[in-house]
Amino acid sequence: MAIMHSAAVEAAAAATEHQTNAGVVVGGGGWLAGCWARLRALLEMVGRWVAGFARKVAGIAADDPRRVVHSLKVGLALTLVSVLYYVTPLFKGFGVSTLWAVLTVVVVMEYTVGGTLSKGLNRAFATLVAGFIAVGAHQVANRCGAQGEPILLAIFVFLLASAATFSRFIPEIKARYDYGVTIFILTFSLVAVSSYRVEELIQLAHQRFSTIVVGVATCLCTTIFVMPVWAGEDLHKLTAGNLDKLAQFLEGMEIECFGENASAENLEGKTFLQAYKSILNSKATEDSLCNFAKWEPGHGKFSFRHPWSQYQKIGALSRQCASSMEAMASYVITLTKSQYPEANPELSLKVRTACGEMSSHSAQALRELSAAIRTMTVPSTTNNSMSAAIKAAKALRSEISEDKALLQVMHAAVTASLLSDLVTQVKKIAESVDNLARLACFKIPEKSQKDVVVVINIMS
């Protein structure tokens, strides 16, 4: 019996050990499976992030392929200027100051030709002037002895740095020479302070200025001669594109709100109501492009003295028109044509007809102005479109003033007032474009030239 009992105990112990080992194996397999699942989820998440980032980069490159070209141009300019460091004879001539050429390329190279010219010329001229003044200050301070030299140098640094910093608050200097003033303060302070310890100051200043000139020249050659991006051309296209967006809004108003097939449904979400919104935030871009365009040499159809400031005036008027459109959009979203009282359907029809004509003629005028800017031709038929829009606005006002239904007149008066304001803004834009055509000497269309010749022949 004892033997049988001990055998039973040993069998139970063996079974327990087997179950424990099996549990350990199963548990170990489950832990490994969990780790593999987490690792696979992590890899999938990284893969999705990489794919999304790649799609984003591809979208940016496809949106404007010139960005890819600009990146390659920066790499090319850095490669060219690094030759100064690699070639031993050139390195001996410039010394360690060769690195200033590389630094210049990094900070000067901009997307547009005007931007590179602005920064490059500001940096070179500011470095030259600051170097001359700093060397002169060193010569004057050096005559005051070992004790008076640092005091006089500190006074020079204080006075010039303070005066140059204050000049940055002057609007004209802030707009075009802010970067140059910053480089002037930096260069003068470095040269003036280091002159107290450096013996070969003139040689050091000459080396640094030479390498900066080499860096600026490399940037300018790469930017101008390798697929240039002109700020003036971008500003020209931006101005014409903004007028097209204004016209798109008015065309949508004519079709969706005042046309024969206009629906009474809520207009919120319609694409034409979003067309003007990008114009409201275009001031910073226009000002930057205009500032850079003034630095650019004559290119294509644009002369060196092209009236770039006139584009800013057109842009300001476009933003005013877009603000009026924003008010109009807010109104038409909350008030559809089904909300007009039915007591006087005749007036409602007249209002929609007059508003449709105003929208149509104003949109046509804007399209013609945009085309005139793109082709750089004198706008010929814009006056006819504006005259028709103004005539429709006057007719609408007279119809409203004669009606006695107060609520009906109120809705019609708001619509007429908003659209009349738009017509007035479009008229101002037309006048500004005419000034641009006159100042920039836009060419006269062939049809207009023929009409002038016919009139001259008749008069003779």
% of the chain with per-residue pLDDT over 90: 32
Q: Would you say residue 453 has pLDDT above 50?
A: no
pLDDT tens profile 264-302: 556 666 777 788 888 999 999 999 999 999 999 988 889
Q: Is the pLDDT of residue 337 over 50?
A: no
* Contact present, 73 and 223 (Cβ < 8 Å): yes
Q: What is the pLDDT of residue 151?
A: 87
Two structure tokens written together for 382: 């814009």
pLDDT at 206: 81
Residues 101-118 pLDDT 10s? 889 999 999 999 999 999
Cα–Cα distance list, 130 to 169, 230, 238 (Å): 20, 30, 38
pLDDT in tens, 228-259: 999 999 999 999 999 999 999 888 888 877 76
Whole-number percent of the chain with pLDDT over 70? 76
> pLDDT tens-digit profile of 347-397?
666 667 777 777 888 888 899 899 999 999 888 766 666 666 666 666 665
Q: What is the pTM of this model?
A: 0.80
The number of angstroms, rounded, from the C-alpha of 118 to the middle of its chain's C-alpha atoms is 17
Q: How far lies 405's CA from each of 318, 353, 408, 417, in Å?
A: 36, 19, 5, 18
Cα 267 from Cα 251, distance rounded (Å): 14
pLDDT at 112: 94
- Sketch the domain layout of the chain as residue ranges: 24-57, 68-225, 231-459
Cβ burial, residue 457 (10 Å; 0-12/13-18/19+): exposed
The whole-number average pLDDT for the span 170-185 is 91
If you write DSSP's letter for every residue of 227-264 in order, what string do you get? S---HHHHHHHHHHHHHHHHHHHHHHHIIIIISTT---
pLDDT of residue 1: 43
Predicted pLDDT at 208: 81
Query: In whole numbers, what is the pLDDT of the chain averaged over residues?
Result: 79
What's the CATH number of domain 231-459, 1.25.40.80, 3.40.47.10, 1.20.58.220, 2.30.42.10? Answer: 1.20.58.220
Rounded CA-CA distance 254/261 in Å is 10
